[in-house]
Structure 1
C-alpha cells in the first residue's frame, strides 16, 4: 500500500507544503526511483521486489503525476525547484543521500541530484536532456500526441484495448518495446495517469530549455539506453557519455524507452550494479 507525506519547501513567496505519494519496500541502503513524464511509481513495479532484496526502495510519484498532487503555486516544474523538492522529500523520510535511479524525466532529475551531490550513485535509463533541438521537438510532439489520444479515449475503450496484446500495443508501444508483456491493469493505469497528470504541460514547458551539458563527478554514474527506444533515440546515449565521461554507458538489448517491463531482470541488475559501485 502506497503512502503519502507532506513537507515544507522554501520558495520566493515563502514556505509551501508539498505532498508526495510513494511506495517503500525492502531493506538496505536507500534507493530512490523516479519515473518519467506522465508516468507513475508503478512503472517500477516489475523490478521493485528484486531491488528490495538488497535495497530500501522508495518509488515516488513525482509532484503533479500519479497520485501526487500538483506543486503549490508559485513552485515551478523546473530542475531548480523539483530537485530541492526531492531532497526535502528524502529529508522528511529521514533518508540521507540515497542511491537514485530514474527513467526519462526521472533520469534527468537523477543526474541533477548527482550533480548537486545529493545522492550516492546515479543510474539513468534513457535520461532526458541529451537531445538535439529537432530530437526534442520530435519527443515533445510525440508525448503530446500520446496524451491527446489518452484524453480522447473513453474509459470503456481503454479497458477493452487493454485486454488484448494488440490493444496494449496501441496504448503503449511508443514507450515499450514489448507492450504485450504489460498487464491489462497496468495498461489502463498508465493511460489514465497520462491523461490526468496535472504537471504535464508545465513540465514540458520547463523542458524546452533543458540541455544537460555538465559533468557529474565524484560518484558512480550509469547511463543505460534501450536499443529500441522510439522516443529518445539511442544516439543520445553517446552524447550523454560525452557530457559525463566517467559514466558507464550500457546498452539494453530489445528494450524500449521504459525498459523496466521489457527486461526486468536486466534493468534490476544494472541498477543494483550501479549502486554497488558506490561502495566499491
Structure 2
C-alpha cells in the first residue's frame, strides 16, 4: 500500500507524540511492505507565531491532497488570551470544516491493566466498551458569534444552528457502526429545552427506522453525564451534537484511567481522515520526554 500522510505536530507535546507515531508507521511499513510518504505542516499556536494564522492555506491544501492527516496537539498558555484576535483552537475547527470531517469517533474501552487507575470502582468500569460519536461541523462552535454594547451593558451572542442533513448523516453513521457492535445507539440531546435538540431527536427517530436491527434510545445530556459515571457499561454507541460531544467524550475518556491513552478519528464522506490522540498539548511536560506516545 502507498499512502501520503500529512503530519501536523502542533504545540506542546504534539511534536513528540507525532515523532513517536511516525517511528511506529515506519516500522509497520518495513514489516508489511507499505510505502508511506510524509509532509509536515504548521497548525495551532506555532502557526500563529510564524504566519499569523492558526491554519495556513498551505496546511489545508496539503491535507486535502493527502490520504490521511496525523495531528499532535494545539494550544497552550502562551496563546490563552481570551481577547486575542485568533487562537490555536481555531485552526482545529477550520481544518475539520475545510476537510468536510463531520464525525468524530472516540472509542473508550477499559483495560485490566488500567482499572486501578480509573476514578471509578473496578466493578463499575470493568468491561466498558463504548464509542462516542460527536458531530463536528455544526452547532455552537460554527454558529454566528458577536458582541454588542447596549444601554444595559455588554451583550454577547452564540448561535446554535443545525441543518437537517447534518444531523441525518451523523445519526446514520452511528447506526451503521452499531451494527458491527452491540446494536445499540444512545442519541443525546436537550430536547426539553432546545429547538435544535427537538429536531435532532425527530431525525434520529426517523433514521433509526431504516435500522430495524439497531435499538435507539434518547437521553437528555445532563442525565447522560450522570449515567456515564454510574453505569458506563450500559452504553454502546453514543451520538450527539458538537458541544455536548465535546464535553461528554472527555468525561468518557477519563473513565479508563488515562486520558493520554485514547485515540480519536475525524471522518467525512470520503477516504480522508484526521487522526489524533485526545489529550491536550500538556505544556508542563513538553520537551521532557514524559509524554506517552
Q: TM-score, normalised by structure 2?
A: 0.31
Indicate the structure (1 or 2) with the bigger Cα radius of gyration. 2
Greater share of strand: 2
Identify which of structures 1 and 2 has the higher relative contact order when contacts are C-alpha pairs closer than 8 Å and 6+ apart: 2
Q: TM-score, normalised by structure 1?
A: 0.32
